[in-house]
Structure formats: structure tokens, C-alpha cells
Amino acid sequence: MPAVRQLARTITVLALASVPVVMSQAAFAERDKHGNNGSQTEQHGNATDDGTLSSTVGTIVYDRSKNGTGNSAGPVTSTTSWTPPACWYAPKYSPAELKDYLEPIWQADSTGSQWDLEQRNKYEKGGDKPGTYKDFNKEKTGKGYWWDSYVNESFPPGWDKCDKPFFWVDKGDPPPADVENAVTPRVLGELAYNEIRVPGTKVTLAPANATKVNLPTWAWLDGAAFKPVSVTASIDALGISATTTAEPVSLKIEPGTSDAQTYPASGVCEIHDGKIGEPYAKGKADQTPPCGVKYLRSSGNGTYPLRATITWKIHWTGSDGTGDDLPDGTFGATQDVTVQEIQAVNR
């Protein structure tokens, strides 16, 4: 009964998405003040007397204290079609908790008697055949966890793809290799990609308030604001974590009109010695800016929408020494530029 199984799994996933996240008031206030950035989110599981954690045992804790901050900060967009996992598998239940979760479903007969019987034979009355268990694996209480799916709260495409049945993993053992997106440092690194926030990209221009036709305009960014940012994702119960870091590598300038010339011609200003562009200084009026734009036509009574986009190189490093690159991310902003005709005086 595939349709019934899928319905049951969907119910499970939806129930999961409604599990509340416990956050300290101080951390919540800090995130709110900085636009959901710059603090550590605390997510907790409750322990019973025998030390068995509750169903939040697999909840991921994100440390955002080294993230970009401020109202203009925002998430990066992958430069490829790759996206972080929309759903994943992690520890969720002790044997008693899985029983408490499944028994009401079976008793309600909402998923069909045949399916319910198959599930009872697998999790409650099994044990003799591979992949079956006796009494929800109660004899291993405190020695492992039942794993199940978790879902990105924004429900992006693919959120319902994690439809594998509950599976048991002993403490200290890796999850099955054939279960895609079973949480590992790699998966944590990919999920932390979603949490990266980088500074806004409003560039400083010289001339500042209004530039002139055919006058090179210098452009640069505050280097102090554009340092690497990072987010660490961890699951304490598994003792694993991963830190995902984003480093700025280039600035792309799009003048907002075809009647313009960029410096360099590609419009891409590479970062050198930690500097993004170069501030204008007195005496450089006749020099070509290393990063900037020259408008060839007046903006008239309006403005040109200059767009500045930073490309960030992103990689993750796991607590087990693993690590790898992730797709570059971009984040940009648009600002209005007034371009005036140069007024000549006839004598």
C-alpha cells in the first residue's frame, strides 16, 4: 500500500515541522536586534531519569555569533543549481518514545489495518528477521536512537523526499551509507549554508552625491565590514559539528544602463590584500580607478540603479577533520546614482 505509507510519512513530516524550537530569551532578543543574526540559537532536548533524551535529541543547534549582522545583511544565493538539503535524517526517538508515537496511529486505524499490521511486525513483534525489532528495540534503551526525518521550516522543493521508515542507529555508529542526507558533518555543513548571512553591499562612490558624464567614478567597500563570516551547526547527542565559512572574493558592478563603462571592463573587481576597490584620494582625479564606473549619458531628472554584488567563496570543515568546498554564493544591493551633464562656461 504505497499510497498509505506515503500518507503516513507525510503526516510524520508535518508533525515534525510543528515541533517547537526552544530558544533562550536572551538569544532571541539578540537575533531580533541584529536582523536574525549574530547569536547562538539554543535548542534543547529533555532527559528522563535514565538519561534518555526526548525527541528533540536530533535538533540542530546553530551558532551564528560569527555571522554577518545589521539590517542590510542577508542570505547568499548559490551560483549553481545546488541547494542545501530540504530534509534530512537525524536521531529523534528512544524506544519508549517511538512506541508512544506509533501506538495511537495504529489504534486509530487511520492508515489501514494491513499497513498497521506490517508496522507492528516490524517494530513491535519482530526481532527474528533482519530489519525487524522486538518491542521497539527496548533492550537497547540508552544505547542508540531511532532516526527519522526533519524538514526545513520554509518547506522548499524536496521537503517531502525524506520518506524512509524509522531506522535504528547505535551510539557511536555512523548512519547507514545508503540513506541520503542522514546527518553527518557534511550534511551539517550544507545545512549551515542556509544560515549564512553576509553584509549588505552598498558601495562608497567618489564623487559621492552626484557624478558627471564622462567622469570616472571611484567605487569601494568598507574592508572592515567584509571579512569572512561563519556559522557552526552541531548535534550534541552525536558529538558532531561543522563550520561553514564564507569569504568575499570579488565585487561586480552593474551600472544600471548600457551607456556606461566599468573599471575593469568586466565590471568584476577582484579583492586584493583584503581590499575591495580603492578609496579615492586627492590628486587621483586623472587616474583610472581600479574599481568604478564612467557614465556616458546624464540620468536626466532621474537616477541609474547601480547594482553591486559580492561573490563569496564558501566551504565547510567538520569536527571529524573532513571538509570541502560548497558552491559560491552571491549577495547584492541596488543604489541610485545621479549623473549630471558637465556645465561649460562660454566667455
Number of neighbouring beta carbons within 10 Å of residue 172: 9
Q: What is the pLDDT of residue 214?
A: 94
Q: What is the dihedral of CA 126, 127, 129, 130, to 10 degrees?
A: 110
| Entry pTM | 0.81
> Which SS3 state, helix, strand or coil, does residue 4 take?
helix
Cell of 237: 547527542
User: Tens place of pLDDT for every residue, the chain, 347 residues?
Assistant: 333 334 444 444 444 333 333 222 222 233 333 333 333 333 333 333 333 334 568 899 999 999 998 888 999 999 999 999 999 999 999 999 999 999 999 988 777 889 889 999 999 998 889 889 999 999 999 999 999 999 998 999 999 999 999 999 999 999 999 999 999 999 999 999 999 999 988 899 999 889 999 999 999 988 777 889 999 999 999 999 999 999 999 999 999 999 999 999 999 999 887 788 889 988 887 889 999 999 999 999 999 999 999 999 999 999 999 999 999 999 999 999 999 997 654 44
Helix (H) or strand (E) holding 263: strand 260-263
